[in-house]
Amino acid sequence: MMSASGTFSLAGRSAVVTGGSSGIGAAIATHFARHGAAVLLCHHGDAARAQTLCVDLEKQGARAWHRDCDVSEEAQVAGLAGFAKDVLGQVDIVVNSAGIGGALCDLAGMTTPVWDRMLNVHLRGTMLVSRAFLAPMMTRGWGRIINISSQLARKGARGHTHYCAAKAGIEGFTRALAHEVAPRGVLVNAIAPGPVETPLLASLPEEWRHRKRAELPLGRLGRVDEIAPTALLLASAAGGFFVGQVLSPNGGDVMA
């Protein structure tokens, strides 16, 4: 594997990517590795796919590990941080991409456990993982935290009140944390993708996906490899002036 040179190089950097065994997280981890970073993939119950991806990256010359972790559980996140210290030494970049889907459900019929699980994985998980790696970044005076939101945080969608609330919370968290830690050299930003072909989106009804394709100016859903370069921008030297921003590669689903 050839490490990229110049402002997009991650040579000498190390990254933890939650949700890193599939979908957007896997694409980001792969993109980072191809630009020189050592990567630790965090997954939950997806060990075979995570191991396959690590083997593929290692065959290309990258350094890659994986670790099972439910990001909504504080003790498991502490274990992830300890494992990262063992295999990576220091962690320069954290990408909070772990997420869950589920059937569409209007609020009137939604159970409290379904609501809680969605917010716990997306919002609580983003907080726990960010906090676990933050202090050493501030001590060194350099770090990047990249949170994965969604364009639905801005526009909303029927049947997605829990998901939209979680993602909107992530955007507020991103801006507030950016204020706290940018003076210490840690840049916190978010990415709000549009509808992208991922296992999470595949869990939704085909009728919903067909309607979404028709709504987009491009007339198609996005690909994960169209999202990963935005994470590379924010993680690399090229992204050194982005603070508390939400970048949205969304195919025109939201224009602002």
Instruction: List, for residues 61-83, the tens digit of each pLDDT value.
Output: 999 999 999 999 999 999 999 99
Question: Would you call 48 exposed, middle or buried from its count of C-beta atoms within 10 A (0-12, 13-18, 19+)?
Answer: exposed
Query: What's the CA gap between 36 and 226, in Å, rounded?
Result: 19
Given this model, what pLDDT does residue 2 score? 45
pLDDT at residue 1 in the model: 47
Name every residue whose Cβ is closer than 8 Å to that of residue 11 and which is 6 or more positions away in sequence. 3, 4, 5, 35, 36, 37
Who's near 167: CB < 8 A, 6+ residues apart?
Answer: 122, 149, 150, 152, 153, 192
| Residue-level pLDDT at 160 | 94
The β-bridge partners of 4 are none
- Could you state, in order of their start, the residue ranges of all structural domains in the chain? 11-247
**Residue 168's closest CA among 190, 146, 144, 195?**
190
Which residues, listed in sequence order, are joined to residue 39 by a DSSP beta bridge?
A: 15, 64
Q: CA separation (Å) from 211 to 15, 68, 155, 221? A: 36, 35, 16, 11
Whole-prediction pTM: 0.95
Supply the pLDDT for residue 4.
55
Per-residue pLDDT of the chain (256 residues), as tens digits, is 445 557 899 999 999 999 999 999 999 999 999 999 999 999 999 999 999 999 999 999 999 999 999 999 999 999 999 999 999 999 999 999 999 988 889 999 999 999 999 999 999 999 999 999 999 999 999 999 999 999 999 999 999 999 999 999 999 999 999 999 999 999 999 999 999 988 877 777 888 788 888 889 999 999 999 999 999 999 999 999 999 999 999 999 998 7
Four-way CATH pick for 11-247: 3.40.50.720, 3.90.380.10, 3.90.1150.10, 3.10.28.10: 3.40.50.720
What pLDDT does 203 receive?
Answer: 75
- Catalytic residues, by residue number, are 163
* Residue-level pLDDT at 209: 81
Collapsed DSSP state (helix, strand, coil) of residue 147: strand
Q: How high is the pLDDT of residue 3?
A: 52
The confidence score (pLDDT) of residue 235 equals 98
